[in-house]
Amino acid sequence: MDQYLIEGGHPIRGRIRASGNKNAALPCIAAALLTDEPVILRNIPDIEDVQVMLEVYRSFGGETAPLGPNAWRLSLSNIKTSEIPREQAKKIRASILFAGPLLARTGKAVLPPPGGDVIGRRRLDTHFLALTELGAAVEINHSFSFSASHLRGADIFLDEASVTATENAIMAAVLATGETILTNAAGEPHVQDLCRMLCSMGAEISGLGSNILTIKGVKKLRGCDFEIGADFMEVGSFIGLAAATRGELFIEGPQIRDLRPAKIAFGKLGIVWEHEGTTVHVPDKQTLEVNSDLGGMIPKIDDAPWPGFPPDLTSIITVVATQVNGTVLVHEKMFESRMFFVDKLIAMGARIVLCDPHRAVISGPTKLAGSELHSPDVRAGMAMVIAAMCAEGKSIIHNVYQIERGYEHLVTRLSSLGAKIS
């Protein structure tokens, strides 16, 4: 299995362009099923998860053609099957995003249990709730089978603000008869991107960015030429990497508004950045000092659904905190197994107390020692890359497939910034 060899102690310096948002690319590929006209998607990251989603799209009879770097033309006039291939479904949790479009186009969808990151229980109940409210019947055996002779709009209250369940509900509702109101909907930037793409195809969606979406069903959607936004999770990862290695970095292309929750959280660690237009500058003279809460209390960084601090950055900010002077509590509220990777950081020399599956107290700064590591998921894997680049000596990271599912050409891009990684 592929691995990374990293020599620590080399600050990164230079300029890099942010990749397209992985979590927008995946639902937008699924949404291309909603029309029999060609769809062009731009700024699509060249990562493993995208390749798997394109494989699934082709399994339905779709054609995909690259249009230069990070752009694809997708077309599918007649869907051959409504069953998602089991092999691809095991590789990626986002395979469930084809359920809504398949229901809307064919009246049925068969989905094997989806795979993805091992970060604790990731319930699917909210998908079932939304799709049944729209008129689908669900049968659970070795697979999940959805069927609907006719989808109709509904007033739906989601039991949790699930990103993928919100996206599935939106994609099913755009071709349903009547009006759908989605309350407690997810409002993340990638959900907004999906809505913008669908609106460019002729959908009628209002309330973008809020937790109440109104969708007026239309009879048919047309093709589109759509560019997704920058991946603010990747941008946050690179900001953390630059600060932790005491480097200087210019990141081109991010939407500054998407970074506001991260800016508050990183600010608690004394990490700041500047921006001009759509370029973020992380200076090399960072304080890297924990800013206590009022009264001198230990500050807490906790994740939450948008517009809270993104859960995908909790692993990143945990390892960055090991290089900051002071003590901070990181509270991962949403996934009960995500914080277990800190055992690897402790073995490298980090001073971390794992209070329970959700909370870790980090005291820094600590010198980390190079080690042999295994990446359990995308974000913990990137956190290990940051730890290895801060450490003294060499580290080996195994199972880097998990990292490359979410970070585009990582070795090449980090090498261009002065990292010693191969």
Q: Which residues contact 70 (CB under 8 A, 6 or more apart)?
A: 20, 42, 43, 44, 45, 46
Work out the burial of residue 309: count CB atoms within 10 Å of its CB; fewer than 13 is exposed, 13-18 middle, 19 or more buried. Answer: buried
Q: Report whether pLDDT(321) > 90.
A: yes
First CA to last CA across the chain, in angstroms? 14
Question: Which has the minimum average pLDDT: 5-19, 204-218, 333-347?
Answer: 333-347
3-state SS class at 236: helix
More confident residue, 410 or 337: 410
Question: pLDDT digits over 357-392, tens only?
Answer: 899 999 999 999 999 999 988 999 999 999 999 999
CA–CA distances in Å: residue 175 to residues 35, 172, 181, 205, 289 = 10, 6, 14, 12, 52
Q: What is the mean pLDDT of the chain?
A: 93
Residues involved in catalysis: 117
What is the structure's pLDDT at 119? 40
pLDDT above 90 covers what percent of the chain?
A: 81
Asked if residues 299 and 328 have their Cβ atoms less than 8 Å apart, the reply is yes
Q: In sequence order, which residues have a C-beta less than 8 Å from that of residue 336 and are 6 or more positions away?
A: 120, 121, 357, 358
Give me the mean pLDDT over the 195-220 stretch.
Answer: 97
Residue identified by tokens 């009628």 is 204
Strands 394-398 and 3-7: antiparallel
Under 8 Å between Cβ of 57 and 74 = yes
- The pLDDT of residue 87 is above 50: yes
Q: Which residues contact 201 (CB under 8 A, 6 or more apart)?
A: 31, 34, 35, 39, 221, 222, 223, 224
Strand order across the beta sheet in which 212-216 lies: 155-157, 179-183, 212-216, 204-206
What's residue 1's pLDDT?
61
Query: What pLDDT sits at residue 369?
Result: 97
pLDDT bucket at 118, cuts 50 / 70 / 90: very low
Task: Return the sign of the alpha-carbon dihedral for residues 396, 117, 238, 319.
Answer: negative
